Amino acid sequence: MATTVEHTPGQAHAEHHEPSFWRKYIFSTDHKIIGIQFLFMSLLFLLLGGLLALVIRWQLGWPSDPSMPMPGGSALPESMVNSGIILPEFYNSAVTMHGTIMIFFAIMPLLVGVFANYLIPLQIGAPDMAFPRLNMASFWTAFPAGLIMVAGFFVAGGHSAAGWTQYPPLSANPEYTGVYMGQTLWLVSMIILGFSSLMGAVNYITTVINMRAPGMTWFRMPLSVWALFITAILILLAVPVLTGALILLLFDSSLGTSFFLPEAGGEPLLWQHLFWFFGHPEVYILILPAMGFVSEIIASGSRKPIFGYPAMVLAIIAIAFLGWGVWGHHMFQSGMAFTLGAGFMATTMVIAVPSAIKTFNWMATMWRGDLHFHVPMMHAVAFVGMFVIGGLSGVFVASTAVDIFLHDTYFVVAHIHYVLFGGSLFAIFGAIIYWYPKMFGRLMSPTLGKIHFWLTLLFFNLTFFPMHFLGVNGMMRRIYDPTQYEFLQPLQGWNTFITISAILLVIAQLIFAFNFIWSLFRGEPAGPNPWRANSLEWTAPSPPPHGNFDATPVVYRGPYEYSSPLSDEDYLPQSVPPVDEAPGGPPAPDDPETGDGESSEPASRQEG
């Protein structure tokens, strides 16, 4: 892979001749275009993942009920849906692919592919990434990986049906599921996607270390950059472990080796250790950037410095460190040694602490603030509220004893959706709406945004909160028909209720889709700094030109100097020089509203 580390000398120089359409929008090396390419791709996958969730829910709401045929089922081949009844083979594929697509092709690229690309150079004051061509290669590796993953639905035998966790032997020997080609495509796609993530991670890490603008010290970096930087390190170190495991599994399932197949000496649990050694850092890959975005939005929405910036940074770093030592808590009931289970319980309990610190710091940021509930702020605050639920439900399953009962039940399903939907996805919606004006120069409609927000918050909770009850009742994950179990039959009303809520939840997302597209053309022009925020991206035009800044910005203070006594305004951008160093004139050249009011003191750094 030595050839991937190509160097483009003088990344900064903005091109003055107009590049062709292909070079500008398709095979672009501009980090902003690449981020937007990831945005469109992963939003489409988010939609596909949502539709797959509805397949699952339809079956669970009205299990194999001929009077409730699956809508649109007749358009699918009879090997998937027969006379309106979802077949168990297709159900298992839908379960597998909903998880796979949401985690690897929607949430992860939305958080990292979109925002690490878009935000890191802009927020550290760099003209582009350290390796723009590598960056382009990263997208153009992820895209074919996505196509291969989608292709799996169209091959004979259907798509992979071994669950997104792909536990062998079920995944390693195609005879156990009857899925041959689909399983191979799943593995190949994931291996390719790993290369994409790796190229991205090398780029983000190098860029943050080496390309910060003058004055952008480590502790003046926005928390979003910190979170993305630490996330990139997690990706860098975790993804190759998954890639190694995937390669071994591919050899098992298509070449006839037996790394994970016991009959010829392999170890099924080896996969679980490798998978979760990757998989738990992956959980933090899926939440840390969201925490970073929420920190940005809450500080700017509260017009108040983030409370405890150093603690927030330390909490991110602590999570990243501890995250390597907790993978076994996914395996409490797997048959591993019970002392090992107790050890993993201890580390797991401890890792709850940094998440609690972050929650309290967000709340303390809002305390005595001046809260502006624009649409991104609503999402950020909802993130905090929902993440608290996801965190607290995690305490139940962190207890090895309680986990004996709750493991592999809908309680875990509820837990992960409160973290990944209530947490990550709310943060993603907030972040898209917050940085949309920077990306496209126009604001998304606040009216539609509020309708979408309230409907999503409502139906999200109606969908996922009752799943806690299903789990407490012992309903297993990934079962095709719970009504076959007498003890689960009383829950069927809840299952139907959840399905109806889930359908409404997906329909509510169409409002977002409409708002997103409509606002591209009709949204209110935003200007450079619609949220009156401090970080560097808001000093660039919206959208920023190739090369981002007219001149390299110089940073004088941290990103959260809101309501500073040094300024008459309630914000003080990072690049506005203290008054005694600068000649007069408006502090932020792009923002005519900001008057004078800088103090003669150098702005305070982060205290503590």
Is 151 an interacting residue with respect to another protein (CB under 8 A)? no
HSE, CB side, 13 Å, CA atoms: give it for residue 499: 19
Of 45, 131, 426, 429, which one interacts with another protein (CB under 8 A)? 131
364 near another protein, judged by CB under 8 A: yes
Closer by beta carbon to another protein, 55 or else 201: 201
Scan residues 199-218 and list those touching another protein (CB under 8 A).
Answer: 201-203, 205-206, 209-217
Q: Is 335 in the site for another protein (CB under 8 A)?
A: yes
Residues 295-324 that bind another protein (CB under 8 A): 302-311
- Which amino acid appears at position 482 of this protein? P
Q: Which is nearer to another protein, 264 or 510 (CB)?
A: 264
Round to whole Å and give the CA distance between 327 and 331: 8
For position 524 contacting another protein by CB under 8 A, the verdict is no
User: Which segment (76-84, 138-146, 353-361, 514-522) binds another protein by CB under 8 A?
Assistant: 353-361
Q: How far is the CB of 75 from another protein (least distance, A)?
A: 23
Compute the least distance from the CB of residue 243 to another protein, in Å: 6
Backbone angles phi, psi at 441, to 5 degrees: 80, 0
Stretch of 65-73, 75-83, 436-444, 474-482 contacting another protein, by CB under 8 A: 474-482
Judged by CB under 8 A, the chain residues 232 through 261 that form the site for another protein are 236-241, 243-245, 247-248, 251, 255-259
| Alpha-carbon span 349 to 606, nearest angstrom | 30
Angle between the N-to-C axes of helices 375-398 and 288-302, in degrees from 0 to 180, rounded to the nearest 10: 140
| Position among 169, 279, 430, 530 found at the interface with another protein (CB under 8 A) | 169
CA atoms within 13 A on the CB side of 603: 29
Bridge partner list, 442 = 525
Tokens of 606: 């982060």
75 binds another protein (CB under 8 A): no
CA distance 338 to 317: 29
* SS3 call for 409: strand
The whole-angstrom separation of Cα 283 and Cα 583 is: 49
Please tell me the distance from the alpha carbon of residue 342 to that of residue 327, in angstroms, as a whole number: 12
**Closest to another protein by CB, 104 or 307:** 307
Residue (of 298, 361, 304) closest to 565 by Cα position: 304
Spatial separation of the C-alpha atoms in residues 269 and 340, rounded to whole Å: 14
> Site residues for another protein, window 372-431 (CB under 8 A)?
372-373, 381, 384-385, 388-389, 392-393, 395-396, 398-402, 404-405, 407-409
Q: Which two tokens stand for residue 157?
A: 């035998």
Query: Which member of 359, 541, 543, 578 binds another protein (CB under 8 A)?
Result: 359
Instruction: Give Rg (Cα) of the chain.
Output: 24
Q: Closer to another protein by CB, 20 or 339: give it.
A: 339
What is the size of the binding site for another protein (CB under 8 A)? 167
For residue 585, what are its two tokens? 């004139």
Residues 293 and 228: their CA atoms lie apart, in Å, by 9
140 vs 251, beta carbon nearer another protein: 251
Our CB check for another protein shows the closer of 2 and 75 to be 2
* Candidate ranges 34-42, 140-148, 445-453, 478-486; the one touching another protein (CB under 8 A): 478-486
| 2 is a site residue for another protein (CB under 8 A) | yes
Give the residue, chosen from 270, 317, 451, 455, that forms a contact with another protein under the rule CB under 8 A: 270
The answer to whether residue 14 forms part of the interface with another protein (CB under 8 A) is no
Pairing outcome for strands 81-82 and 85-86? antiparallel
> Is 404 exposed, middle or buried (CB count within 10 Å of its CB: 0-12, 13-18, 19+)?
exposed
Interactions with another protein, residue window 560-589 (CB under 8 A): 560, 562-565, 570, 575, 577, 582-583, 585, 589
